[in-house]
Chain A
């Protein structure tokens, strides 16, 4: 076994271990972070950097070209698809108020009139995220209810 081969193995194993360590921190982050968006940051990290490291490490260890191409394909697919799924989940999370706004320093999507964000609290609420302005939320939802009632009443009159 030549020096070059040993160096290659050491490099590959180091990359594999770094990737697995990122997977460990992903699990840790999932458990420790306070809300869905922060947890998604923990989740995307091994998805991109960790997968990349592990794939490169495995490609160095596996010497067939066919396996290398396939690992490359997996890495490319991950890079293309991870942002898409992350975006879809985070957008829904933001709109459904799975975000702890008390932990946000600034929220320009809301203050900047981005137009995103629904008014009614309903459905699948996270237990750890209280409505940040309970009075306003209640008033808003009453208003919504009232509007719905009025609409129905008008229909009845007509």
Chain B
């Protein structure tokens, strides 16, 4: 069992360290976003491994929060970077939702009338 502990936490630690290195050197902001995302996933995996190996369910709610935070963080930063785009027709953020099929049908019915 000790071997399993060392193997699991060792691999997670090295993976998290490599993600941190990319976070540090990553030449662009997006590299850092991807690295942060991966780092949070590795942290979530570490919490789950802890819960599994120790049979300790107290960290499971933390897991839910961490996995949702990763999503919110990377999406908001991606939108922010998209907003800095220059010279493109639509600036990486959707101006509105793409037209739903229902609305298109309604408009077609309106036009044909």
Contact = CB atoms under 8 A, between A and B. Distances in A.
Interface residues of B, number: 55
A23 B27 contact: no
Interface stretch (A48-56, A101-109, A131-139, A149-157): A48-56
Contacts of A39: 22, 31, 34-35
Interface in B81-100: 81-82, 84-89, 92
Contacts of B63: 70-71, 74
Of A13, A82, A92, which is in contact with the most chain B CB atoms at under 10 Å from its CB?
Answer: A92
Q: Interface size class for chain A?
A: 35 or more
B12 to A, nearest CB: 5
A96 B85 contact: yes
B86 A118 contact: yes
B92 A91 contact: yes
Decide if the interface of chain B is mainly helix, strand, loop or mixed: helix
A74 B28 CA distance: 30
A96 to B, nearest CB: 6
A61 B30 contact: no
Given A88-B82, A98-B30, A27 B42 contact: yes
Interface of A: 12-13, 16-17, 19-21, 23-28, 30-31, 36, 39-40, 42-43, 46-47, 50-51, 54-55, 57-58, 60-64, 66-67, 70-71, 73-74, 77-78, 81-82, 84-85, 88-89, 91-93, 95-96, 98, 115-120, 122-129, 144
12 contacts: A17-B11, A23-B42, A43-B41, A46-B45, A51-B45, A60-B52, A70-B61, A71-B48, A71-B60, A81-B67, A96-B85, A119-B87
Given A20-B15, A55-B48, A70-B63, 7 more contacts: A16-B49, A17-B4, A20-B45, A26-B15, A27-B14, A71-B60, A77-B67
> 9 tightest CB-CB pairs across the interface, nearest first?
A27-B18, A58-B52, A118-B88, A27-B15, A120-B87, A67-B57, A81-B71, A88-B78, A126-B28
